Amino acid sequence: MRVDNNKHTSKTVQEMQEQLNRCLDFEKKFGKTTRTTAWIKWCTDKEYRKREEEFRLASRNTLDSKINLVKYSWKVNKRI
């Protein structure tokens, strides 16, 4: 298997290829795991990386809005 592009990531193609090779070697020694399957899919599928990035950003935005809400309500409650 080869990594053909590095869209939707800050890693270089070489870093992604090294990770893919580590996962494939691990699978040869110990068998498949959900983690190695996910890493292999992440290294080889541009759409998978795109969806993972969108999910990560949406999660961060949701948590940021919740944290800001808690900070604001703490300030309001402190004034009372």
CA dihedral 19, 21, 23, 28 (to 10 degrees): -170
From CA 20, how far away is CA 9, in angstroms rounded? 15
The pLDDT-based confidence of 7 (bands split at 50, 70, 90) is: confident
What local confidence, expressed as pLDDT, does residue 11 receive? 83
Cα 34 versus chain centre, distance: 15
Model pLDDT for residues 16-71, shown as the tens digit of each residue: 899 999 999 999 999 999 999 999 999 999 899 999 999 999 988 888 877 776 66
What local confidence, expressed as pLDDT, does residue 76 receive? 56
